[in-house]
Each structure stands twice: as C-alpha cells, then as structure tokens.
Amino acid sequence: MIKRLTPILLACVIGIAVVGYFVGLSDGVPKPAGLSGAGALEASWLPGGEHHASVSAENKVVPAVTYGQIPGAAMGPTAGFQASAKMLPQPAYDLFAEVHPSEAEKAESGKIRASRRAYNGAPPVIPHAVQNTTDAACYACHSQGMRLAGLKASVMSHPFLANCTQCHAPPPPEPFKGADTGVQSSFVGLPAPKAGKRAFPGAPPTIPHSQWMRQNCTACHGGPNGWAGMESTHPWRTNCTQCHAPSAVLDQAIPAAVVPMLPPLEVVAE
C-alpha cells in the first residue's frame, strides 16, 4: 500500500513545486517605476550605438547594465547629494575675550579626562556610539571641533593620524555591554601633572607633560573647544614654547643611554 502511494505523493509534491515556481516568477516582482523611456544617455561609445534608459532624479532606479557599460551609465548620486559635509552653524569664538579659568572647572575637566584614559597620556576611549568608523567620519567632527546638542567635540590634540579606531577604542557592541573584557596588567602610568614649575610667581610655567600627541596646544588649553578651567589667558599666542619651556626628559628627547646622569622622570603632582 505504502509502496503504491509514494510515487503518487512524490508526483504531487513535484507538481506543486513546478506550479509554485511559475506562479512565483510572475508574481511579486517589483516593477521599475522610476525609469523614463527616453534614451537620454549619450551612448555613442557603446557597440552598435546601444541606448538604455536614463534615470529620473525624483524616482531613481538604477538600470542594470553590463560591466562594460558601467562607465557610461547614469549611476550618479541623487539630486540631493552633496559632495562635502554641510557644516552646522557654529557659534563665533572671540580669541581676545577675557578668560578667567576656574580651579573647580579644571578639577572637573581633569576627572572627565581621566575617566576616558587607561593612564595619563593614553588615547581616550570614544565615549559615544560610532556607526561609521572611517577617518573622514571622525574628522568631520574632531578636526575643527563641532558643537552640537549642548556637547562639544574636542579638537584632535595631535596631527591627522589615519585609522582613528586603531588607538581610540569605540564602545563595545550591544551584546558585550557590561562584559568584563579587562586584561590583567601590572602597568602603572605616571600620575597626571597638576601644574608646571615657575621660576617665580607670574613667570610662565614649564610644560609639565610631554608634547607627544599634544602638538595642538589650543585643543586643550583654550580655543572654542578647549577644556573648561584649562584655558590659558592668552589663546591668541601662536608660539607657545617661546615662553613655556618643554621638558627634554618628559619628551624623552635625549636617550638616557647618551646622558646617563639624566634625572628620573619627574612630574609635579602637587
């Protein structure tokens, strides 16, 4: 009995599959709505003077073409496309406005900065979600500094370095939020400096940190997007090291092997 039914059953299944295949082919295929019939494309280069449909700007469907036809095909961006990012209107910054750095703000800024770094001088983690991690995306907000929604994007303190996320870690993806991904390490960084040394009260303080990755002084010490409390009173100055002495030791400018009597790394952590 079962032996006789099996071929019938199989025939039914195959029959339904074949019918379904043709029903599927004729049904549910989206009809291209945006093609205008006119062969507007200059296609004189195509073999045999082939023409194919141009694309209307409002209702764009890109017609499929062969690889050979791609260079001449109407595949450009839609009408609304802008090649460069439109800058949001930014508040004007007065370089010569009087600055009164406050100690309380400086302490608060120091706390935020420390919370994003494994140790002093480490690249800060990215404190916001990033969907697009290309350099251009980061650069759009962090090259000049961008103010939006009450936040300000800090200016890069270093020159342009490709591959931002090589050093700046983005937040973990959703499933790994809260997962303990820390790696045990006995490394301890130097304490963050509080202030530079002064020859006398009123003298320009020395730079209490290395200049590595901090070439753009006004990224932190003033300018429109500097850190509150860390502003200098003279952001208009152009050559900071004219008055503020850098430290060869902190900059590790002289190898210790050459000058063995170099004092140990010293940071005023007062």
Query: N- to C-terminal Cα distance for the chain?
Result: 96
Cβ contact 230:208 at 8 Å:
no
190 near ligand HEC, rule: CB under 6 A: no
35 binds ligand HEC (CB under 6 A): no
Interface residue with ligand HEC among 35, 46, 53, 126 (CB under 6 A) is 126
Strand (E) or helix (H) holding 3: helix 2-26
* Interface with ligand HEC, residue 218, by CB under 6 A: yes
Torsional class of 49: left (φ above 0), alpha (ψ -120 to 50), beta (otherwise)? left
Check binding of 219 to ligand HEC (CB under 6 A). yes
Q: Which of 40, 53, 61, 240 binds ligand HEC (CB under 6 A)?
A: 240
**Cα 78 to the chain's mean position, in Å?**
25
Q: Give the strand pairing for 147-148 and 151-152.
A: antiparallel
CB 267 within 8 A of CB 208: yes
- Nearest one of 43, 76, 41, 44 to 60, comparing CA atoms: 76
CB of 12 to ligand HEC, least distance (A): 57
CB of 139 to ligand HEC, least distance (A): 5
Per the listing, tokens 């901090």 go with 214
Q: Is 138 in the site for ligand HEC (CB under 6 A)?
A: yes
For position 217 contacting ligand HEC by CB under 6 A, the verdict is yes
Bridge partners (DSSP) listed for residue 35: 55
Tokens of 247: 């430290």
Build a one-symbol-per-residue string for 72-111: x at contacts with ligand HEC by CB under 6 A, - elsewhere.
Answer: -----------------------------x----x---x-
Enumerate binding residues for ligand HEC (CB under 6 A): 101, 106, 110, 113, 116, 121, 123-124, 126-128, 130, 133, 135, 137-142, 146, 151-154, 156-158, 160-161, 163-168, 193-196, 202, 204-205, 207-209, 211, 213-214, 216-221, 230, 232-235, 237, 239-244
